[in-house]
Amino acid sequence: MTNRLLVILILTMVILAGLPSRPLLAQESTSVSGEIRQLGRGNDDRQIVATLAKAPRLAVQLLIDELRPVNETRILASEKRPEAEHVLWSIRALRYLTGGKDFCGQTRHEFDKSEFERNRKYWLYSRHRTCVSFFAMWPSRGTEYVAPQDAQNEIILKWRDWFKDQGASFDYKPLLNPKPEEWLW
Amino acid sequence: MPFINGKFYMNPAYGRALENARANESTDGTQGGHWVTIDGRHVLIQGRQEAQTPQASPNQLAHLRQVQKRRDEAKAEVGYGETSGIVPEKSADSPNNASPYQRSTWDPASTKNLQDARKNIMDISERNGIVKKSKPDDPNNKIQQSIWQDNLSVAKNSHGDMPGRYFFIRQEGKGPQRPPASAGFGQGKPISEYGPFRNVGGGDVPRGNRTFIDIYDK
């Protein structure tokens, strides 16, 4: 009888101890999700990314869920494309939170000789040289060039595979006072 | 950056070697100096020692000149890649229908201002290499070649001494007047401004006669 009471008491304590932590975790996840949803949609994106650095592992997991191919090939500084910007800012945040990690992809797209395509090719290959970035910025114009869809898909897969393999054990060290070229361009 | 004989050099050994080699061309080679090894080549560095030492050979001089030429071309590619669509303002007395590429119609002060802007951009590229580099793609295109020569002449004087780390090109009254926040720079006031010029090319800046190049340090 005493043993049964003891077991019930221990089980009750375990259940009670777990109760507050579950809502807290859920609360943190909801809060981080809320921050991430705002990225690229007209708020102070750099401030949001700085906030995400308080829970980098969870943020990285949720940011990878936000990645999807975008249809835009170029976004001029004068243009507003919040849905595409949301994805580009998710990539920026991933770079920031992982200390500068970035993936590139191969493309079968043939860039033609037009000025637009020559610029797009130039900037997309500028970081990794042998494969294209998800996007790249021409800083003196504020123009963002976006990778062809096949490369976008490959890069998204690379992020997912990386997180599946290393996300739990990765040592998350967000960038410290990074230069724009380290994560924004 | 080392300052040698009135010029700045990224690589001090090359700078000293080049300047001394230039000086040696007009000397009898008996003023002394010492030898250094640059890229496996032995080069005389002229000094005050009284030792009898040989001069840099013609091959070594040619090599050093080649290095300098490559450096100048790399800088010119920055100016060309970033500003090839921009020309100076027209002078007041030039005809309305003058081609924007007709150099005789360019305002001299605006022409100098554009060359200064190009030099500033080339200097910035020493500190921030994320810039558009390109060269003329048609050797028979006289417009391309003349703009290339403009950039090449500025490149020879670009030694990294002009300020700034970023620049933004805008058309006054059209489109954004500063970089987007996602660029991470240029949200305050520029440290200097060049223009107005005429943007007759593309390059993602609206065309027009009120083109400005803003220089930022953050």
With 60 as the cut, is the pLDDT of residue B180 above it? yes
CA angle, residues B170, B183, B171, in degrees to nearest 5 = 5
Residue B29 has pLDDT above 70, yes or no: no
Among candidate residues A130, A129, A143, A19, the one with its CA nearest the CA of residue A81: A143
The verdict on B92 and B174 lying in the same domain is yes
Confidence of residue A3 (pLDDT cuts 50, 70, 90): confident
User: What is the average pLDDT across B27-54?
Assistant: 49
- A-contacting residues of B 48-87, CB under 8 Å? 82
What is the tens place of the pLDDT at every residue in B115-174?
999 999 999 999 999 999 999 999 999 999 999 999 999 999 999 999 999 999 999 999
One domain, residues B202 and B128? yes
Residues B40, B96 within the same domain = no
Number of CB atoms found within 10 A of residue B197's CB: 26
Of B181, B185, B205, the CB nearest to A141: B205
A77–chain B Cβ distance below 8 A for any pair: yes
Q: Is residue B150 part of a domain?
A: yes
Q: What is the predicted pLDDT for the residue at B20?
A: 57
pTM of this prediction exceeds 0.95: no
* Domain presence at residue B57: no
Average pLDDT over chain B, rounded to an integer: 85
Is B182 at the interface with chain A, CB within 8 A?
Answer: yes
Q: Are residues B105 and B13 in the same domain?
A: no
> From the CB of residue B186, how many other CB atoms can be counted at a distance below 10 Å?
26
pLDDT for the residue numbered A20 = 54
What residue numbers bound the domain in which B143 lies?
85-216
The pLDDT tens digits for A45-95 are 999 999 999 999 999 999 999 999 999 999 999 999 999 999 999 999 999
Are residue B101 and residue B169 in the same domain, yes or no?
Answer: yes
Domain count, chain B: 2
Nearest CA among B127, B162, B159 for reference residue B9: B159
Q: Does the beta carbon of B173 lie under 8 angstroms from any beta carbon of chain A?
A: no
Q: Is residue B39 part of a domain?
A: yes
Same domain, yes or no: B21 and B97: no
Neighbours of B6 (CB within 10 A): 7
Whether residue B196 has a cis bond before it, omega within 30° of 0:
yes
Chain segment A112-165, per-residue pLDDT in tens? 999 999 999 999 999 999 999 999 999 999 999 999 999 999 999 999 999 999
State whether B90 and B182 are in the same domain: yes
- How many other CB atoms are found less than 10 A from the CB of residue B112? 12
Residue A122 with chain B: CB contacts under 8 Å: 132, 134
Determine, yes or no, domain membership for B63. Answer: no
